[in-house]
Structure 1
């Protein structure tokens, strides 16, 4: 029953509300009655509202019986004209969510005894078929699927289907669409089809890692799998690949460690990789022709193929990603996965839109897809089956790949309840799982109080957020290349800097801060986005020499590492990473994006300094206090002349003074009486005192941080 010539249009917009649009060119848009039929029975509709909109007459009609989503209906008007009843805005109603929520854990492909089960949640479909193809054949087999409860379609086949390629054919609104399984765990080249794999063949034992008692004990180092090793002098064999990022014994031109061994020596605890779930933007068979950060998600549960040695082998990317993670773990480090659940690459061609059109994405007040992400679509995480997908996906990466933490891209698009469910599933796996996210408030049609933003941090107390106030007050506004922050000598940022250095908890002012607890604040001045700190300094200080720029850079990075909260470093930040002035390198060349390991050798003194700061942070708990109460109890601010900042910590039988001089002059500072060992000054950082100062007045160098330990 297909309406090839529609006289008008009809949409199911609520469970019992049908909207009918009659063109004025059709009987002047007038009809006194409508009915609904599915060939066997006709049901009259009650017209409850009628009004003209542009060149159409709009009728709101009420259905007296329950609508069955299993059937296809026609709408007939008083003139005998007819049209098919299409699924409309009903999919975005709470009633639809309640009726079709499915809590099973078997969507996608599962195995049971000698059976291979296929299940797809497609409640608005009137038919669904499974399309199967052997990996070495062009012949496809079509298998009908059966509708079950909650809008799930299923079929079980009693044969060996390993490495078969598959997709689903879905009939919605009398239009057939072919879609890759949203739950696909393996895919063909460029994610064109799902692939059936036996994941037990790829299993690796779960590692035992040293405990991370609190998120503030973490030191996060962000990198991109390709950037990390692609440089000609990285010393890595498998450059730009999972296997390369996992190599342990690579050395640079200077004979010193690069790659993972270098990170282990540097002292960081977590490496955060930009997205490695399957993404668009690179032809996997010609991976060196293009570059992409990976924020174009295609398939959320399958690894990206351009980082594997053989993208045509569905097992290759799985084995090699797992090996990379194992290699990181073997050094006692952890992996944070950058996840992009806030949008898809192209809404219209995504599996979500093909399987249940209109459900997975937010729409604005006039029914158009919203665009808070800036890429044309926003994932509607507040809907039950969207939330379930995100939580199921997180659980899958935790269990199958042993991921240790997640960085949520544009987390402010998602809702608080979804993020709290993510926290729960992570806690069930390990309470040491770190969750961090970009809690920016974006223009998406979700009530303000439900957005997973910094403003709602109290509703997500165990989820940390990138602290843009820290970033902008220390280095200067990230969207104004020429704005100088506190670390660049701008004393107008002094009070803001004072607040973020002490954890953004309201320590320096009456009332609350941005966060209730320090472990909610991710402190950073540089990440993959926008200009590197070095490039910003080149723009801000065009008439100064590199020696001063290096001092400012060192000061800013030092503040990141010694402030209360979670420190976050961009890879190469410790050797003044440059992208040659490119402020948005998401698809720029390797020459722009690569981690230049030669700079590590050139600026080895700064690398040594940053390594020393990391040791100081790890050794002395006063730089990573767990709660706001601890910070308030153990911190006293020193009364220094502006713009200097100073703090006196008394904790764990230690007395420590932390001083910051962002000015271009030496500064004489009065400190409490005693003998003070210098752990950090303008050119030294370490847990062994460089020298001992006596008396109560010291002189600190321009543009420097200083840490003194009472003997």
Structure 2
């Protein structure tokens, strides 16, 4: 039996002093800082206020199966460093009661009896459950914090999935250049919660702000060598600690508690505005990277347990980041679940998007398992089962693409939606411009209808599909229409990084141009993409800046560009202003349509319908669906109990098309008996010329013109209805 599976006590040795560049070193004796009373192996981390603890005492518990014995090094109330042995060991958890480790104090861990790096001034081991991390010139220490905060009746918005519109943004990049936000707040948690930004979110019409990683993260060594930083933040060092650099300078100066409070105040303000907060979280790997990189925590505490290994002791890397956390290990799984619960309970977070989620759900043989303990635990947990859970349903290892295969209770990023919509509006248009055939509208129809072919097999509805055209990773919406090739030279990797398969179309000119015809064509394509996203069944996700025509000048992997290339530019030209206005209009159309439908729409067949018509206003035939040249379709969406039916007409041809609105006979065939009187009112079209006709009314069975390469939206109504 390994020694760590036995309970035991180790007699205290004299305390080992630890050097500090900030405070003088003082030698203290071990028994002065360690209680003789029994400690507890849970909860993990540093906890105060439990029964049996005297004032000034904390219970410390650390899962470290790789250490025979473990010391904790910490600052006392006078800023002097001391250490104490954690004397008890229970199933790999080292624990003890320690005196003098007060809120706000820094601390770290180290195997008992081993020489301290650089005399104690070097990097020791962080507590995996540390609530904050202090960065002293690249030397990191955990910080013990008091979690108190006055939430004053904060209530989560609890937005239903069908009404949800996700807005993916970066805490810093969202406000760093905003001229109406005070300079000292720009690029911070407080800046994101500023009334100007709250009003922008509400005016746009989104419901849920999804933040790129805000867990404490650091820069990879190769980026440091290049003088760059990990702007996106997918390199987590602490799963319980907010990233301090996103706090205001005043909060950072006041200390980690003030940083934590600023984050909580941000969440509270967003909730008061009716907006959910979703965190993009990275539990698939840690910032420790490969085995030859710096050890910060997990590797030193229990490398063989925390990380996945092959039969030769090498890391199994399904993430492309050097290591993969092993959630088949109960304590590692518990770490992730504890972290998630902590962010919900202590920070009132409304949901999570899981980076490379497949890596979290690979079994001991390396296969994705939709009944993995992690997925079962989130379903059974009373805290986690009530928040939004979104998977990035892939990783970089074999069998890594699992879109549509996550279980009930989860929504998946739908990359098939992304690829199909890009192909129809960009790739096919490019091919047609070269005299080649495009593709059938049938593929696009499946995505408009909620991708049942992808999600039905898992027993989920269209609301499990998080639809997106762009994300932080890849071209922006504007760049999709402006570049055929990636331009990542600024990343220092000779343009080798980033995908080469963008499904983009520059409309004849690579990058910036003054050609008005090219600019008009690009703007129309961007409108088509945005309209398809916001009118499809499923949950749409907008990437911050796409509604403003944001460009990254062809960089499709701007993860290391913490500068104006990535930050949102709030000084807009006329075309960018128009992009914002049409995005806002589309969101209002979507909201109006859903508000008029029963609450069960569109999850139950009896409460919703999707009716497809051809150019002649008759039901689409199988032959027309399979015709590769068929690029025009009409979609009538609604429900028997709904007040408003919406008609979406798509023309993927390069010339205007004369169509017939759905005929009375065709509507009657579908059970709509009032088809003779039904009117269709144009509420939006992506054709700039035809949009001047907004408000025009066409009766069922009458002729209408749809602009070239465009999408039009109509409100269906009966005379006498409002």
TM-score (norm 2): 0.74
For the structure 1 residues 650 and 291, does the alpha-carbon distance in structure 2 shift closer, same or farther, using more than 3 Å as the test? closer
How far residue 679 of structure 1 moved from its aligned partner, in angstroms, is 2.2
Tell me which residue corresponds to 2:219: 281
Matches within 5 A, 1:520-669: 520-539=464-483, 540=505, 541-543=507-509, 545-599=518-572, 603-621=576-594, 626-627=601-602, 629-630=604-605, 634-640=609-615, 642-651=630-639, 652-669=642-659
How far residue 569 of structure 1 moved from its aligned partner, in angstroms, is 0.2
Q: 2:261 and 2:220 mapped to 1: Cα distance? A: 21
Q: Does the CA contact (< 8 Å) of 1:276 and 1:303 recur in 2?
A: yes
For the pair 1:436 / 2:390, whether they are aligned, the reply is: yes
Matches within 5 A, 1:474-489: 474-476=421-423
Among 264, 277, 289, the residue aligned to 1:335: 277
Among 194, 198, 206, the residue aligned to 1:260: 198
How far residue 124 of structure 1 moved from its aligned partner, in angstroms, is 3.6
Structure 2 counterpart SS, 1:606: helix
Deviations 1:525-570 (A, max 9, x none): 1111011121121122134511111111101111110101100000
* Root-mean-square deviation (Å): 3.5
Matches within 5 A, 1:46-61: none
For the pair 1:420 / 2:420, whether they are aligned, the reply is: no
Q: 1:504 and 1:537 mapped to 2: Cα distance? A: 24
Structure 1: runs of 5 or more not aligned: 1-65, 72-101, 250-258
How far residue 281 of structure 1 moved from its aligned partner, in angstroms, is 2.1
For the pair 1:350 / 2:292, whether they are aligned, the reply is: no
Tell me which residue corresponds to 1:707: 713
Higher strand share: 1
How far residue 220 of structure 1 moved from its aligned partner, in angstroms, is 0.5
Q: 1:607 and 1:554 mapped to 2: Cα distance? A: 10
Tell me which residue corresponds to 2:488: none
How far residue 148 of structure 1 moved from its aligned partner, in angstroms, is 3.4
For the pair 1:681 / 2:685, whether they are aligned, the reply is: yes
How far residue 630 of structure 1 moved from its aligned partner, in angstroms, is 2.8
Tell me which residue corresponds to 1:185: 131
Q: Does the CA contact (< 8 Å) of 2:75 and 2:105 recur in 1?
A: yes
Q: 1:124 and 1:547 mapped to 2: Cα distance? A: 62
For the pair 1:471 / 2:471, whether they are aligned, the reply is: no
For the structure 1 residues 183 and 272, does the alpha-carbon distance in structure 2 shift closer, same or farther, using more than 3 Å as the test? same
For the structure 1 residues 533 and 606, does the alpha-carbon distance in structure 2 shift closer, same or farther, using more than 3 Å as the test? closer
For the structure 1 residues 631 and 355, does the alpha-carbon distance in structure 2 shift closer, same or farther, using more than 3 Å as the test? farther
Structure 2 counterpart SS, 1:306: helix
Q: 1:132 and 1:355 mapped to 2: Cα distance? A: 17
Q: Does the CA contact (< 8 Å) of 1:564 and 1:625 recur in 2?
A: no
Deviations 1:466-495 (A, max 9, x none): 1111101111399xx978699999832633
For the pair 1:461 / 2:408, whether they are aligned, the reply is: yes
Tell me which residue corresponds to 1:170: 111
Matches within 5 A, 1:354-365: 354-365=300-311
Q: Does the CA contact (< 8 Å) of 2:44 and 2:63 recur in 1?
A: no
State how many pairs are aligned. Answer: 587
Deviations 1:135-186 (A, max 9, x none): 763x421111122332221111345612221111125999999311000001
Q: 2:277 and 2:600 mapped to 1: Cα distance? A: 23
Q: 2:518 and 2:47 mapped to 1: Cα distance? A: 60
For the pair 1:231 / 2:177, whether they are aligned, the reply is: yes
Tell me which residue corresponds to 1:381: 327
Q: Does the CA contact (< 8 Å) of 1:191 and 1:299 recur in 2?
A: no
Among 339, 347, 352, the residue aligned to 1:393: 339
Matches within 5 A, 1:305-316: 305-310=244-249, 311=252, 313-316=255-258
For the structure 1 residues 408 and 702, does the alpha-carbon distance in structure 2 shift closer, same or farther, using more than 3 Å as the test? same
Q: 2:323 and 2:548 mapped to 1: Cα distance? A: 37
Structure 2 counterpart SS, 1:183: coil
Worse-matched range after superposition: 599-608 or 664-673: 599-608
Q: Does the CA contact (< 8 Å) of 1:534 and 1:553 recur in 2?
A: yes
Q: Does the CA contact (< 8 Å) of 1:166 and 1:193 recur in 2?
A: yes
TM-score (norm 1): 0.75
For the structure 1 residues 410 and 469, does the alpha-carbon distance in structure 2 shift closer, same or farther, using more than 3 Å as the test? same
Deviations 1:662-686 (A, max 9, x none): 2221112222343212222236999
Tell me which residue corresponds to 2:81: 140
For the structure 1 residues 234 and 438, does the alpha-carbon distance in structure 2 shift closer, same or farther, using more than 3 Å as the test? farther
How far residue 454 of structure 1 moved from its aligned partner, in angstroms, is 2.2
Q: 2:382 and 2:338 mapped to 1: Cα distance? A: 14
Structure 2 counterpart SS, 1:148: strand
For the pair 1:496 / 2:460, whether they are aligned, the reply is: no
How far residue 232 of structure 1 moved from its aligned partner, in angstroms, is 5.7
For the pair 1:693 / 2:698, whether they are aligned, the reply is: yes
How far residue 599 of structure 1 moved from its aligned partner, in angstroms, is 2.4
Structure 2 counterpart SS, 1:475: helix
Q: 2:606 and 2:211 mapped to 1: Cα distance? A: 31
Q: Does the CA contact (< 8 Å) of 1:519 and 1:626 recur in 2?
A: no
Q: 2:686 and 2:337 mapped to 1: Cα distance? A: 47
How far residue 111 of structure 1 moved from its aligned partner, in angstroms, is 3.0
Structure 2 counterpart SS, 1:212: coil
Deviations 1:207-263 (A, max 9, x none): 2344423x12100011101110111635443111111111113xxxxxxxxx23111
Worse-matched range after superposition: 414-423 or 371-380: 414-423
For the structure 1 residues 487 and 388, does the alpha-carbon distance in structure 2 shift closer, same or farther, using more than 3 Å as the test? farther
For the structure 1 residues 289 and 105, does the alpha-carbon distance in structure 2 shift closer, same or farther, using more than 3 Å as the test? same
